[in-house]
Amino acid sequence: MNANLHQNLPVAAAPALTQLFAAQHQLSRREVDVPLALRQDRLRRVARLWQDHQARLAEAVNADFGLRGERLTQVADGLVLAGLLADLRRHLPRWSRPRRVRTPLHLQPAHAFIARQPLGVVGVIGPWNYPLQLTLGPAATALAAGNRVLLKPSEHTPRTSALLAELVARHFAPDEFAVVTGGVDVAVAFADLPFDHLFFTGSTAVGRQVAAAAARHLTPVTLELGGKSPCIVDASCADLAGAALKIAHGKLLNGGQTCIAPDYLLLPRGREAAFADAYRRAVARLFPHLAGNPDYAAIVNARQHERLRVLVAEARALGARVEDASPSDWVAPASGPAARQMAPLLVWDAPPAARLMQDEIFGPVLPVLAYDRLEDAIAHINARPRPLALYWFGDDAAARQRVLQGTVSGGVTVNDTLMHIAHDGLPFGGVGDSGLGAYHGETGFLRFTHQKSVFVQSRWGMGHLLYPPYGARFERVMGLIRRLL
């Protein structure tokens, strides 16, 4: 690792990154057993950090995005985070207990159990799109499992990252939980540390780089990535207006900058005009006005805004039809906080060669593809990398089952969008290009836990009957064991 990286390393009230890691690592080896009371206390401190500073945190997020209202942050970040923290605190005593394991007859009267222990030091690299939920959520889960945590939030939300560093330092000792801020060079140095587990949320391309860096230390990783999550409207969907409203909400929440947003829509051929009308009315209901509306987030920065503009322009040049679905009175502002707000667009018949149909969109642009048979829609999905999420709207249970059984995705919401992430009992994560590993609930707790096998031999144990020298007695014992198995 290049030592020069640490000369300009901005760490709030903390020493250099390697020293921070070393302090956490040493204590994790010295204080292996982390009492339940201390874990619960750390969770309470994370909850207080959020509860006591919601307004300041939302203000920092708003400043980073240019426009993202406090209420939007309460829903988009706070609701899932609060639910996750409550679920951790409620179930932690049960999850932390050793698990008794049935002992096979031929090994009795010994007994066995699984001890659940902290891994040690967990690194968390967070994204910019939900800079509170997707940083504090994994960090809190790792703390619940008894680990120490280093968090690297995104450089694309610098005000939020700086405030997180300040607040975490106020509530935690740096050898418990600390935040490291900085740019790409810091992230590279961070990923190169020999963590006991490294948790990353971001793009598939960067996820590959993080996995490669972690592999040098055999560090296990959780990769929460993205991809092109499909949404299917089935021919049996009678309430097209209701479906359009839920699709619009899932697509446009946070200005479309959501890893599990519907990335493209598969629609029965012949329903295009009806859906376009329903979608426009849904947008108008959700956002009666767009310009300056804090409920409709701006694109996070000029680079991302330009990327989206280029994707749409390229699709149009390749023959796609682009339709503005925004309220009729909306005019794109030329400057000010709302300058990076982007109109919600429907894109019809974009060719497969268009990057809009290959790259994750991460914006308020919804390509729509018509299909003739449900099997065609399933085949389209299966011909592409496995998505993080899949959405299905309809009333035919048999058709729904064909989609559920015939496709593989990280998660599914039926007759709605996004909602599976809010269910604390459901694991959240991707598969293939959309991610590796899952968290939330007990799945998340176990993700950051070492399950140690413990076998306790009885004084009456008969294992010596299998010791050499092997002869007639050994054959009799083995014959008995074979009958018992």
- What is the C-alpha to C-alpha distance for residues 228 and 185, in angstroms, rounded to an integer? 29
Active site (annotated) includes residue 375: no
Q: Which residues pair with 53 in a beta bridge?
A: none
Catalytic member of 224, 237, 360, 442: 224
Catalytic-role residue among 176, 237, 259, 442: 259
**What is the spatial distance between Cα 346 and Cα 231, in angstroms, rounded to a whole number?**
14
The answer to whether the beta carbons of residues 166 and 12 sit under 8 Å apart is yes
Q: Cβ neighbours of residue 252 under 8 Å, at least 6 residues apart?
A: 283, 286, 287, 296, 344, 364
Distance between CA atoms of residues 58 and 164, nearest Å: 11
The Cα 200–Cα 207 span in angstroms is 7
Would you say 123 and 199 are in contact if contact means Cβ atoms under 8 Å apart?
yes
- 237 catalytic? Reply is no
Helices 36-52 and 158-171, axial angle in degrees (round to 10): 140
3-state secondary structure the chain: CCHHHHCCCCCCCCCCHHHHHHHHHHHHHHCCCCCHHHHHHHHHHHHHHHHHCHHHHHHHHHHHHCCCCHHHHHHHHHHHHHHHHHHHHHHHHHHHCCEEECCCHHHCCCEEEEEEEECCEEEEECCCCCCCHHHHHHHHHHHHCCCEEEEECCCCCHHHHHHHHHHHHHHCCCCCEEECCCCHHHHHHHHCCCCCEEEEECCHHHHHHHHHHHHCCCCCEEEECCCCCEEEECCCCCCHHHHHHHHHHHHHHHHHCCCCCCCEEEEECCCHHHHHHHHHHHHHHHCCCCCCCCCCCCCCCHHHHHHHHHHHHHHHHCCCEEEECCCCCCCCCCCCCCCCCCCCEEEECCCCCCHHHCCCCCCCEEEEEEECCHHHHHHHHHCCCCCCEEEEECCCHHHHHHHHHHCCCCEEEECCCCHHHHCCCCCEECCHHHEECEECHHHHHHHCEEEEEEEECCCCCCHHHHCCCCCHHHHHHHHHHHHHC
Query: What are the C-alpha distances in Å from 283 to residues 174, 244, 268, 346, 421?
Result: 45, 9, 21, 11, 23
By annotation, the residues acting in catalysis are 224, 259
